[in-house]
Chains A and B, each alone.
Chain A
């Protein structure tokens, strides 16, 4: 496989974005909503083609900066799925808020950035792809430019994003300074002098902070509630699904390449961040009255859960995080779709406004209920199984390490608290009488199809998790052999000395 066919998926998405931009110019503004459909269909086609190509098991391109392996492919497919649903959601919203031709184009460009990031073979591509995603999101978050909330959210996102990017660059520089390489494969086996160890550790913490910005993990979680609340609903959905997954895959990559030198560092770092994220997010979510803001806090809690899987350090743990990410993606997409239908893309989403939703639209009520139940982690839905896998992997690797026991305890506390605020939403849907102007809600056919697909996904993943478990453990396995190889290299190294 040549380099250009290796980046074929990304190229296709970029070309698609440009094509839609050019078509959009020629289409009158009333008829632009179909551009989102076209983009969604196109994304679906790219997703399909990703299954038709036979990918190499593991291969590096462009002098090691670009990797094709199971992990990259897993996340690319996840991004494509998320982008497809986001575009369908946007097509529905565009009727009212005139979201315009640029929206699908920007989504596609962010998508291309995410896909490049998943394949990052070194810090250079990591940074460039991450900035491509982040800069696109600055525009997307502030897209409803006639509302103050959206603009404010954009500015906050921009400033916090700029600060964390600065930390990221600084961290990269420290790691480079300590090891002399930017490439992940070389980083694995790079010897570090004792004097440089502290520099290396600080560098890793800063890189974590920078990448954790995407994941919304403590300490770079502070933007999430404001931005989720202010951004248009489809953008919020993309933040919760694609953008979050970018953070996850990049942390997995960096962690995997520095595991030998920094095993205890990662364990402590991830555990501390996970505990803080879960407690912070869960506690702050309790008094929330806006559903989008609630999702912002829930997103922070989710980041904590994802980090627990990574903190256990085992293949099963990372696989569990991948599984949970997928389950969360489905639930978050469904909730945001409902929000954008009920409240409109850029209006505030007061939970009170959901009162009597089941009378106004049973489909939306069921979709919202299923996603809330899945987020709360109640069987038999996908979220339950994800949490089950996370706990199981943590228990499996815990042995006698007290740290992981604390982690599991915190996770249980987080789950218990989350049941409280998720069920507050369900209560509003079923047991609160609708206000007088509560008319029945019209759901377009494409939105209905999307919601049903998401619901089927939630139930299917919960009842028959086998396939996704195999896919995620395969993805993790594809980066694992190199670990073994390194261990051998290190052993040889030791023998030579």
Chain B
């Protein structure tokens, strides 16, 4: 495929050129920055579609360029195109294109307009590098780069202390996870001698015992990276704070793409996690389930519109991680990727809708200061409602299908306590319905609680058109056969459902128990939500639930716990470091080494007297010594 091979480098290069171009020339020229960045995103979207359609269904190919080659040391930049990366790439490209356009409107007039788009382009480049990497090392480079661009964009309004702190927190927690990932990578490298994904897969397929007893360790170390990037418990605390960034950034990076990269990585190296004798998957499933439940409970008691969505994202990511954990060789993680794809669309739409709302009410984010926005902002309301229903899992919207397939896969998995896992999943589904109903009911219905809510007006075209575009996949992606695209990646057979009704019917016939439970949970959640929050002036839940609601409101005190822990360790470490620094490093090593070297330098400098006779004598002496040494050998 020579023509396509030319195209794929364009996918990576366009955003990179845009990022470099804006940094060099566009920081003070907003128009140029916008054109470059949106142009690059549009180019990537078109190219990814071309490459997607140009690759025959279910096939895969690779292309690589040599970065450097010295003797036996070869470092190629390998890209891999298989159904997994192609579909994921397509979603990343299109969602980011839409959000790029939205950003043009949302960020208009900001002083850092150019800087914003440079960051966005850098992010797009690094995210595509992760998705297309055919080599774990290249993937890791992209992994670190998305961390950097996420840091830059969370702290975009760096004048606000909250944003600066949030970006630092996100970066540090991500680094913590990445360290584990790097160790895992080195472990795999040292055991198998390769970081190339295809080669690794071949080697492990030929000899599943290659990693030996370290299989679990390797899997869990790589999972550490996922803990950080996908914000799973116990590293989940950075994601809600990351909402300090501009809303389109929250939509793109902290909802649709970057945080999903963890799930993508798990699927990418699934063959490694699913090695016989590895217990990694079971633990992964429980970490995911716990995160999903925890975040869903917290989400019910948040008041900031973006934080509700952030906890919802956490919860859904936990759902996907749980789905990966519940998979096995015979039942590959198609459901997780399916949900990732639909979630990317409707969660991006929710965030963009929230952005539109926030703009309309003059940057107020507390939902209890809004209300009755549905009539004033019809486009935002309808698209937001579609996305919310999709998230709650109402048929025939896209979220219903992907959630159903996750529930089915959990129920059919061979994890020991699969019924407990399934119960958690159903509970999370009910909670999802509940908190989304709360969000919609309080924001768009009920009384106008403040004056600004009364004056709100629909946002301009540049904000609403992206909403409309994203509403299409949010509603209909369930009928596009995304799951069969992913299924062709793994050798598991995909069920072909024909037609709209065929698909809906298949959801019920394929695994009726899971579907009915899921649907029932969603209905229970929505009905409860309506009962509590329809026309509510204040939140009535705390009085009914008491302590639990208080805990949920305070995010189960994780931030405080971490802060205290951090302070204690920090205090101890700093005392230790101070002692070491003062006595060992500064006293003995630095002063000692520095002093002796400095002394040697000054002594040697005495030889340079500037006196030519002495120079000549030194030269002669040097030759004599040299002759002596050489001739004695």
Residues of A within 8 A of B (CB): 155-156, 159-160, 163-164, 167, 198, 201-202, 205-206, 209, 218-220, 222-223, 225-226, 264-265, 268-269, 272-273, 280, 283-287, 316, 389, 392, 396, 417, 464-466, 469
Contacts and interface: CB of A to CB of B under 8 A. Distances in A.
B630 A465 contact: no
Given A202-B631, A226-B610, A269-B630, A219 B615 contact: no
Contact of B630 (A163, A268, A287, A392): A268
A160 B630 contact: no
B601 A205 contact: no
B619 A219 contact: yes
A226 B610 CA distance: 7
A225 B70 contact: no
Interface in B592-633: 597-598, 600-602, 604-605, 607-608, 610, 612, 615-616, 618-623, 625-627, 629-631, 633
B451 interface: no
Given A160-B615, A222-B618, A269-B630, A417 B623 contact: no
A268 B633 CA distance: 8
Contact of A284 (B608, B616, B619): B608
A316 B71 CA distance: 9
Contacts of A287: 598, 601-602, 605
Nearest to A465: B68
A201 B629 CA distance: 12
Contacts of B604: 280, 283-284
Nearest to B633: A268
Contact of A264 (B71, B602, B615, B633): B633
B69 interface: yes
A225 B598 contact: no
A411 B166 CA distance: 43
Nearest to A159: B612
A172 B418 CA distance: 87
Given A160-B616, A222-B607, A273-B626, 12 more contacts: A159-B616, A198-B631, A205-B627, A268-B629, A272-B629, A283-B597, A283-B604, A284-B605, A285-B601, A287-B598, A389-B70, A392-B70
14 contacts: A202-B631, A205-B630, A205-B631, A218-B622, A219-B621, A219-B625, A222-B608, A222-B618, A225-B608, A226-B610, A264-B633, A268-B633, A273-B626, A389-B70
Contacts of A465: 68, 70
A455 to B, nearest CB: 14
A201 B631 CA distance: 7
A387 B196 CA distance: 28
Nearest to B627: A205
A163 B621 CA distance: 13
Contact of A164 (B619, B621, B631): B619
A202 B627 contact: yes
A160 B70 CA distance: 40
Contacts, number: 91
Nearest to B603: A283
Nearest to A223: B615
A338 B356 CA distance: 53
Contacts of B621: 219
A423 B494 CA distance: 61
Contacts of A167: 623
A205 B597 contact: no
A392 B623 contact: no
Given A159-B616, A222-B618, A209 B626 contact: yes
A394 to B, nearest CB: 13
Nearest to A296: B608
Nearest to B616: A163
Contact of B626 (A264, A269, A284, A417): A269
B61 to A, nearest CB: 25
B71 A272 contact: no
- Interface residues of chain B: helix, strand, loop or mixed (majority): helix
A283 B616 contact: no
Contacts of B601: 283-287
Nearest to B73: A392
A392 B274 CA distance: 38
Contacts of B625: 219
B151 to A, nearest CB: 21
Contacts of B623: 167, 205-206, 209, 219
B350 to A, nearest CB: 41
A220 B622 CA distance: 8
Contacts of B597: 283, 286, 417
Contacts of B633: 264-265, 268
Contacts of B631: 198, 201-202, 205
Contacts of A469: 70
B615 A156 contact: yes
A492 to B, nearest CB: 29
B600 A283 contact: yes
Nearest to B66: A466
A466 B630 contact: no
A219 B626 contact: yes
Nearest to B594: A420
A205 B633 CA distance: 13
B70 A464 contact: no
Contacts of A198: 631
A254 to B, nearest CB: 15
B626 A466 contact: no
B68 A220 contact: no
A444 B602 CA distance: 39
A164 B608 CA distance: 18
Nearest to A288: B605
B194 to A, nearest CB: 21
A226 B608 contact: yes
A244 B605 CA distance: 23
B585 to A, nearest CB: 15
Contacts of A226: 608, 610
Contacts of B619: 160, 163-164, 219-220, 222
| Centre residue among B66, B610, B633 by max chain A CB count within 10 A | B633
Nearest to B613: A159
A183 B615 CA distance: 33
| Centre residue among A209, A222, A280, A316 by max chain B CB count within 10 A | A222
A206 B615 CA distance: 17
Contacts of B615: 156, 159-160, 222-223
Contacts of B71: 316, 392, 396
Contact of A286 (B598, B612, B620, B629): B598
Contacts of A285: 601
Contacts of A389: 70
Nearest to A202: B627
A416 to B, nearest CB: 10
Contacts of A265: 630, 633
Nearest to A320: B70
A422 to B, nearest CB: 15
A156 B605 contact: no
Contact of A466 (B68, B620, B622): B68
A275 B400 CA distance: 72
Contacts of B608: 222, 225-226, 284
Interface string B186-216: 0000000000000000000000000000000
A198 B630 CA distance: 11
Contacts of B630: 201, 205, 265, 268-269, 272
The 4 closest A-B pairs by CB, nearest first: A219-B622, A286-B601, A283-B601, A222-B615
A141 B164 CA distance: 56
Contacts of A225: 608
A217 to B, nearest CB: 10
B483 to A, nearest CB: 42
Interface string B322-357: 000000000000000000000000000000000000
A287 to B, nearest CB: 5
A6 to B, nearest CB: 33
Contacts of B627: 202, 205
A269 to B, nearest CB: 5
A390 B598 CA distance: 27
Contacts of A159: 612, 615-616
